[in-house]
Amino acid sequence: MSAAAPEPVFRPPTFRTRLLGFGMRRMPFLLRLARRIWPIPRLGSTYVVTRHDDVRDVYLNDRAFGVPYKENLDVIMDGEPFFLGMGDTPEYHAGRDAMLAVVRRKDVADRLAPKAEAMAERIVAEAGGRLEVVDQLVRRVTFDLLGDYFGVPDPPGGDLRVWATRLFEFQFADDGSDALGAEVKSIGQRLRDHIDAEIARRRAVPSDKDDVLGRCLILQGQGKPGYSDSEIRTGLMGMIVGGPPQPPMVVPQALEQLLRRPDALAGAQRAAQGGDDACLAAYVFEAMRFDPIAPLMPRVAVADGMIAAGTRRRRRVPKGSKLMVGLSSAMMDSRRVPDPYRFDPHRLPHEYIHFGYGLHQCFGMHINKAVLPAMLKPLLRRENLRRAPGGAGRLKKQGPFSTELHVHYD
């Protein structure tokens, strides 16, 4: 009997996902036009924020402009609160602090970045000069690395890569599909049950394995607040939904941008071959500026607010309005980013908004800053790195997701 085919990571494309992809391909031109002539357009009850200063102000004004994630998170988490969906409350800080105590910054340099590089090196070496970047390299490294670090293995009869990607799509790129909503309810229940089973198993048979789940159980045993079974499960689910699906989106996009620019690719390869990790990271994150994880991020006015106060473009935003905050547009705003369409790996930190600002700045920012370049480093060390011939050598996307990019090397 032949083995069952693995479940595809992505749902079959729909009219809505094709329409989203069409819009995203044209978004840079539309945002560039808006920055110049209509910097805060209002489209019905939605305000689009395009300039660097205004994007930053919206991110930093959590009292007026909150995140709209709670409703979908409640579906995923079965109503258990998670700090990603909260405003600036004691509950937010307690939940975030509980996870910061077990997802430690020192792990990045001591453990995660070296392991990511070693895993990527093994894949690149075994591929024989022909590699598919999205799934064969980045998704494989990401989920193996972070699944082990979080202490959440693949579920019996399921695939964590598929589950996490579906939940991420529902949380951050929901197209309103009834089929996706039904699938997410099923996946959410199965993932909750899987993590509950892991919690029970690890507590029944303690081990010396140092991972996020193990650290949570140690703190639970010490009677620390924030580590009940439901809080541990919700925290781990939040890390899985918000973390591993992102590198397979942005790392191939960064490589695509380097492949478009032979001088930039050569510079990144010199940094990788010379072991200059800081320089390599500068090339990768500059490449990401040309195609970040999303052109727009949502916010909702939780109170009456003002954007660009004191300027001629000021906008009063009434409570209940929606906002689409143009982080990609902000990083192309010549008012704060000199010569924005020039590839420059020596830019200053304030010119980048990859990880947001303020209360909801990316929780995994420090992991991403080190691990994303580490995944590409072994590939960039190879001589004569180039696109595969034909269409296979061009990055393909489905909606916001990178799906395929083939490269060759010697």
Q: How far is CA 116 from CA 12, 59, 83, 110, 137, in A?
A: 30, 31, 27, 11, 10
Quick one: pLDDT at residue 23? 80
In a domain? residue 56:
yes
Mean of pLDDT over the chain: 94
In a domain? residue 3:
no
Can you give the CATH number for the domain in which 283 is found? 1.10.630.10
In a domain? residue 353:
yes
In a domain? residue 323:
yes
Range(s) of the domain holding residue 130:
15-408
Quick one: pLDDT at residue 2? 38
Quick one: pLDDT at residue 174? 81
In a domain? residue 7:
no
Q: Give 286-344 pLDDT, tens digit per residue.
A: 999 999 998 999 999 999 999 999 999 999 999 999 999 999 999 999 999 999 999 99
Quick one: pLDDT at residue 5? 52
> SS3 for the chain, per residue?
CCCCCCCCCCCCCCHHHHHHHHHHHHHHHHHHHHHHHCCCCEECCEEEECCHHHHHHHHHCCCCEECCCHHHHHHHHCCCCCHHHCCCCHHHHHHHHHHHCCCCCHHHHHHHHHHHHHHHHHHHHHCCCEEEHHHHHHHHHHHHHHHHHHCCCCCCCCCHHHHHHHHHHHHHCCCCCHHHHHHHHHHHHHHHHHHHHHHHHHHHCCCCCCCHHHHHHHHHHCCCCCCCHHHHHHHHHHHHHHCCCCHHHHHHHHHHHHHCCHHHHHHHHHHHHCCCHHHHHHHHHHHHHCCCCCCCEEEEECCCEEECCCCCCCEEECCCCEEEECHHHHCCCCCCCCCCCCCCCCCCHHHCCCCCCHHHCCCCHHHHHHHHHHHHHHHHCCCCCEECCHHHHCCEEECCEEEECEEECC
Tell me the whole-structure pTM to 2 decimals: 0.94
47 has which bridge partners? 42, 323
**What residues in the chain have per-residue pLDDT under 70?**
1-6
Quick one: pLDDT at residue 3? 44
In a domain? residue 2:
no
In a domain? residue 10:
no
Q: How many domains does the chain have?
A: 1
Quick one: pLDDT at residue 25? 84
In a domain? residue 4:
no
